[in-house]
Amino acid sequence: MTKPTLPIPWLDQDDETTPLPDPQWALSEPNGLLAIGGSLSPQRLEAAYRAGIFPWFSAGEPILWWSPDPRALIYPDRFHTSRSLARALRRDQFTVTLDQAFNQVLSACAAPRAEEQGTWITPEMQSAYWRLHQQGIAHSIEVWRTGELVGGVYGVSLGHAFFGESMFSRVSNASKIALAWLCAQLRAWEFDFLDCQMPTNHLLSLGAVCLPRAQFLLALAASQRFATRQGPWELSVSVGDL
């Protein structure tokens, strides 16, 4: 049976009571587009992530809500460490921290990349995730070299799921080092998965797998049976755990 094509609903930014649609009604093209509008309030964002939905839009666009099919994720105990990354992890030239420089990581991720025009991490998005960080559910992992921030990742944590939003790297392997440490810490805390949203060749090379959306939503529901670990977070793992 073919899923009928329905109009994309527009959400009132002043009405937090209207729920986001069921992800099963997301469009196939563009893949995963589910709703437009609404707000980026902490309540709306938390409800969206718990339902397998995330915002993604560019400057000048309305808020766009997505739930793509398939969904990319990394199981913390299956992160792939290449030989070059393993060598970088063994070198004593980087310091890794959690929740020590959230705004700096957010700003670095928002900076336009050489191969891109503009950024989807708009000032509106930055303010929204800063509010989540203040509430203890958005987190950053930072990679430092001689006191300079050279890489990092930020995302949202609810239950036993971590929803990765973006990462950056100013030196070779820095973002991979951040992910390796993050996966080690999530594994120690018995998290179920790190949601990567859309698959890319880069993420697949690090061990990401693609799940059909229906299967991902089942895994997400199971992960939400656990209490959320509030921030600020601190690392409890060491190099030997990577």
Structure tokens at 186: 């999530």
Q: Whole-number mean pLDDT of the chain? A: 94
Confidence label for 2 from pLDDT (cuts 50, 70 and 90):
very low
**Alpha-carbon span 242 to 226, nearest angstrom:** 24
Query: Which tens digit of pLDDT belongs to each residue from 227-236?
Result: 999 999 999 9
**Alpha-carbon span 207 to 198, nearest angstrom:** 14
Q: What percentage of the chain exceeds 90 in pLDDT?
A: 83
Query: Which tens digit of pLDDT belongs to each residue from 59-97?
Result: 889 999 999 999 999 999 999 999 989 888 888 789 999
pLDDT at 5: 56
pLDDT at 1: 39
The CATH fold of domain 72-237: Aminopeptidase (3.40.630)
Query: Which tens digit of pLDDT belongs to each residue from 45-55?
Result: 999 999 999 99
**Alpha-carbon span 191 to 162, nearest angstrom:** 8
Residue type (1 letter), 11: L
Say if residues 85 and 173 touch (Cβ distance below 8 Å). Answer: yes
Is the pLDDT reported for residue 3 higher than 80?
A: no
Is the pLDDT reported for residue 37 higher than 90?
A: yes
pLDDT at 118: 54
Reported pTM = 0.94
CATH number listed for the domain at residues 10-69: 3.30.70.3550
Q: What residue spans define the domains of the chain? A: 10-69, 72-237
Which has the closest alpha carbon to 91: 194, 177, 150, 186?
Answer: 177
What is the average per-residue pLDDT within 170-178? 95
What is the average per-residue pLDDT within 8-25? 92
Confidence label for 6 from pLDDT (cuts 50, 70 and 90):
low
